[in-house]
Chain A
Amino acid sequence: MSPIGPLLLATFLFCAGVYGVIARRNAVLVLISVELMLNAVNINLVTFQNLLYPGDPAVTGQMFALFIIGVAAAEVGVGLAIVFNMFRNRASVDVDDADLMRW
């Protein structure tokens, strides 16, 4: 199997994530976009591992993906807590409203 297909999928997901981070105003949607980017990375790693380096006894790429999944869960937990705290303080999750400090 050629790695082109999965890599294209990963690139598309990554670009969609970057677009979401830049274009979205809702903090929760920005968080979801970042998750898309991390999943693109996971697809990349697993693809490389399985199609290019299948003989590696340490399955490095897949282990890396496992660690990314674990860390991403922690990041999302912390991120949701921060967004939720922001919502309690000013009843908005719009990142453009976070403008108390400039320069």
Chain B
Amino acid sequence: MQIDFIAILPEIILTVTALLVLAADLALRGDAKQFVNPLAGLGTVAAIIATVALWGSERVTFGTMYVVDDFAVLFKLLFLGTLLAILAISWRYIAEHRFFQGEYYFLLLTSFIGMLLMPSSRDLIMLFIALETVSVPAFVMVGMRKRDLYSSESALKFFLLGVLAAALMLFGMSMVYGFAGTTDLVGIAAAISGETASVPLLLGSVMLVLVGFGFKISAVPFHFWAPDTYSGAPMPVAAMLAVASKAAGFAGLVVVAFIAFEPVADVWGPMLGVLAVLTMTVGNLIALQQRDLIRLLAYSSVAQAGYILIPFGLARTGPGAAVVNAAAIEAVVFYLIAYAVMNVGAFAVAIAVERRTGLRSIADYAGLSGRSPLLAMGMTVFLLSLGGAPLTVGLWAKFAILEAIAVDITLFGIVLAGFLVVNSVIAFFYYLKVVRTVWMDEAPAGLPQLQPGFNLSAVVVVLMVGTLVLGVLPGLVTDFSSVISIVAAG
């Protein structure tokens, strides 16, 4: 077995960077420790270059376990871009709050290595390793404020639910292995489609495997950890969990559902569709009552996970399924890219406000327009985009889902579309509530002007421009995602 080192170069670069960061943290002292951040940033940029070079080629290595195609490259670029943004917004935050800086960046990079592995995995063992490499450093990062009660409590909840979901998923995987005799995803699909009658035990195992990913994306019966963990964790970590970790969960779900379990898509498709309806409805209804901005963003991210689950509900088997499934994957990828741009932006603004003042309830955002016009503009754009307003990328993301539904209209598809529209309207209530507080309410006296610093301002400006430009010209991304999804489905 010859290993294709070019195919895994981005992962190798990130691994070496992570080890260097840990060594640098041991060597540096005091204030100098914060310079591990640009070191990690350099490694990320190098990994991005190595990933871009892989665009357009299809490489297979480690037997058939690891496939780098355009689908994987697009996801890797999404993760690495998010990593760069998160590094930029963490620098001052982590340095000022006296965290364990070297450990923080080491764990962050390790978690992202797991994410890079996820969309390339074509084997259950690889998927499991990738999922755990994402999760285990995240458990530690959530509990990083060691003396803070909220932080340690949220870490405990996140950890216990996380390992429980992992154990359930593993039991499903072991049964699938017992059924198919292989952990290779394509081999599993062949074994399943070779079966004439449906096997209840197999279907149960498939459900258990999907539960593991349902936890990562915080779909509704498994969402309880999300709001507590987001509000207890350091805020850059919350941003990472809400965006990158969730996108990794969706990447794994696409791979395992549309490749390995594709022959039983008529079973898991409707089930995930029902989960999608539950997830967006519950997320939106609870988000309406939140007073804390981070918890609001947490429930909004639960609802967004519901929107992204809709295309999975459309999956089916039989003649004509390939077109529908390809359209579904395309919608998922496009929505995830849009979601990453707008949600990282919203968290960046929240970090800028909280960093100086420690305030995070929605009422504290009163008069933000006077204190920092840039942040107020950014918050408005990101929240309106999350709601799906015109001229922002959020609208086109929702259109992408409707487009996937319209490929082959069924009654179930129409019901899903109806729930999508109604939920978008509900969501506007709480997004607009925050926007009104930012622009209309008077700021309490005595609050200083906000100086977000260069990195944070740059991230907010870039993401704001990205949201608006993609809102006018969505073709910039849809062209890419339509190229890749067919490859992934085949």
A residues near B (Cβ < 8 Å) are: 14, 17, 21, 27, 30-31, 34, 37-38, 40-41, 44-45, 47-48, 52-53, 56, 60-61, 63-64, 67-68, 71, 74-75, 78-79, 81-83, 85-86, 89-90, 95, 98, 100-101, 103
- Structural contact, B177 and A60, CB atoms closer than 8 A: yes
Instruction: Give Cα A17 to B182, complex, Å.
Output: 26
The A-B contact count (CB < 8 A) is: 118
**B140 beta carbon closer than 8 Å to chain A:** yes
Minimal Cβ-Cβ distance residue in B for A58: B63
- Structural contact, A68 and B163, CB atoms closer than 8 A: no
Instruction: Give Cα A28 to B173, complex, Å.
Output: 26
Interface of A is mostly: helix
Instruction: Give Cα A16 to B409, complex, Å.
Output: 45
The digit string for B146-182, where 1 denotes a CB below 8 A from any CB of A, is: 1111101111110110011011101101110110011
- Structural contact, B163 and A34, CB atoms closer than 8 A: yes
- Structural contact, A63 and B156, CB atoms closer than 8 A: no
Determine the chain A residues whose CB is within 8 A of the CB of B177 once the complex forms.
Answer: 45, 48, 60-61, 64
Contacts of B237-274 to chain A: CB distance below 8 A = none
Give the interface segment out of B73-81, B122-130, B314-322, B467-475.
B122-130
- Structural contact, B146 and A90, CB atoms closer than 8 A: no
Minimal Cβ-Cβ distance residue in A for B169: A41
The digit string for B105-143, where 1 denotes a CB below 8 A from any CB of A, is: 000000000000000000011001100100010011001
B residues near A (Cβ < 8 Å) are: 124-125, 128-129, 132, 136, 139-140, 143, 146-150, 152-157, 159-160, 163-164, 166-168, 170-171, 173-175, 177-178, 181-183, 227-228, 231-232, 286, 289
List 30 A–B pairs whose Cβ atoms lie within 8 Å, in order of A's numbering.
A27-B160, A30-B160, A34-B160, A34-B167, A37-B164, A37-B170, A41-B173, A44-B171, A52-B178, A52-B181, A56-B181, A60-B125, A60-B182, A61-B177, A63-B125, A64-B173, A64-B183, A71-B132, A75-B132, A75-B136, A75-B163, A75-B166, A82-B139, A82-B159, A85-B152, A85-B155, A86-B155, A86-B156, A89-B148, A101-B231
Minimal Cβ-Cβ distance residue in B for A48: B178
- Structural contact, A40 and B128, CB atoms closer than 8 A: no
Determine the chain B residues whose CB is within 8 A of the CB of A53 once the complex forms.
Answer: 181
Kindly identify which residue among B128, B148, B152, B156 contacts A67, using a CB–CB cutoff of 8 Å. B128
The smallest beta-carbon distance between A32 and chain B, in angstroms, is 11
The smallest beta-carbon distance between B242 and chain A, in angstroms, is 16
Determine the chain A residues whose CB is within 8 A of the CB of B147 once the complex forms.
Answer: 89
- Structural contact, B170 and A101, CB atoms closer than 8 A: no
The smallest beta-carbon distance between A96 and chain B, in angstroms, is 12
The smallest beta-carbon distance between A37 and chain B, in angstroms, is 4
- Structural contact, B174 and A45, CB atoms closer than 8 A: yes
Minimal Cβ-Cβ distance residue in B for A83: B156
- Structural contact, B146 and A85, CB atoms closer than 8 A: yes
A56-B181, A82-B139 known; A44-B156 Cβ under 8 A: no
Minimal Cβ-Cβ distance residue in B for A44: B174
- Structural contact, A100 and B150, CB atoms closer than 8 A: yes
Kindly identify which residue among A34, A45, A103 contacts B286, using a CB–CB cutoff of 8 Å. A103
Instruction: Give Cα A61 to B173, complex, Å.
Output: 11
Determine the chain B residues whose CB is within 8 A of the CB of A17 once the complex forms.
Answer: 167
- Structural contact, B140 and A78, CB atoms closer than 8 A: yes
The smallest beta-carbon distance between B170 and chain A, in angstroms, is 4
A34-B167, A44-B174, A48-B174 known; A90-B160 Cβ under 8 A: no
- Structural contact, B156 and A98, CB atoms closer than 8 A: yes
Determine the chain B residues whose CB is within 8 A of the CB of A98 once the complex forms.
Answer: 153, 156-157
